[in-house]
Amino acid sequence: MTDLKPTDLGIAEVTELPLHAEHARKVAAVLDNPATLRDGDVLPVLWHWAFGTPEAPTRDLGPDGHPRIPPGGPTEGLPRRMWAGGRVRVLGGLVVGSRPVRTSSILRADRKQARSGDLLVVTVEHRLTHDGETLLVEEQDLVYRAQGTPVPLPEGTHHEPAPEHGWSEELVRTPVDLFRFSAITFNSHRIHYDPAYATEAEGYPALVVHGPLSAITLAESVRAHTGRELTSFSFRATAPLFANVPFTLVGAPSGEEGELALKMVRNDGQTAMTATARVEG
């Protein structure tokens, strides 16, 4: 499926990202980050996900709240979609008040057969440039899959201890957290704010925490505990997190200079996300 184009998945090939200071401050508020960003400041790494969001009219949204993909396309029969992982390399700062351009392309697309059914796994590359300079290169791993069996609510009281020279903190994401993150990212996927849809249509036991919100939470943890900005970040989601269900965020140096290993562990002991971050020297 190497001839797949971003537009086949409802992704624009070229998107302008006006990095408005007002919206940056709303992102900070959602993340409980005390930063008061103004024009000329550098946007924290990963916050660009809240800019250049889809502009599909409401009439063009599908039953799940995502922009509708025309029938007969590559995702036919694969109604469930998730952002399963990604990698970000920072080459320069995204400056608040500037208008970088994101150019998107498909790197890989594979139709697979898994235990849960058919999957379409797509890797999208985004390049963010400004005045001819590439500032950030990102790969996003998107998974489209068939309707699955109901997912049970995680049960237990597991708390992951802090590793040596690292940190550990227990967190809970509430429906308000999910609603506000959906708002700043203009994400209409109903699994994040519509309990009836999440449980009855998609088989989840509760509202689902956004994968990007979890990834940003890990990045924010690195900044809070090291006082340093990220130069690269990669993550992989391995299990869903749910609203009002606690999980533990864990971080520690990986052994390589400037690199940290991160993970989120659910209350039932299952790892929901792993990540690796590199920070400035």
pLDDT, one tens digit per residue, over 38-93 is: 999 999 999 999 999 988 899 999 888 888 877 777 887 887 888 999 999 999 99
At 40, the amino acid letter reads G
Distance CA 237, CA 187 (A): 18
pLDDT tens, position by position, 170-182: 999 999 999 999 9
Please name which of 61, 51, 67 lies closest in space to residue 7, comparing C-alpha atoms. 67
Distance CA 54, CA 9 (A): 12
Average of per-residue pLDDT across 175-201: 96
Q: Three-class SS of residue 178?
A: helix
Please name which of 238, 171, 175, 179 lies closest in space to residue 211, comparing C-alpha atoms. 238
Check residue 79 and give its pLDDT: 79
The pair of structure tokens assigned to 238 is: 């391995």
* Phi, psi values for residue 142, rounded to 5°: -110, 140
* Phi, psi values for residue 48, rounded to 5°: -65, -15
pTM, whole model, 2 decimals?
0.94
Structural domains present in the chain: 6-279 (3.10.129.10)
What value does the mean pLDDT of the chain take? 93
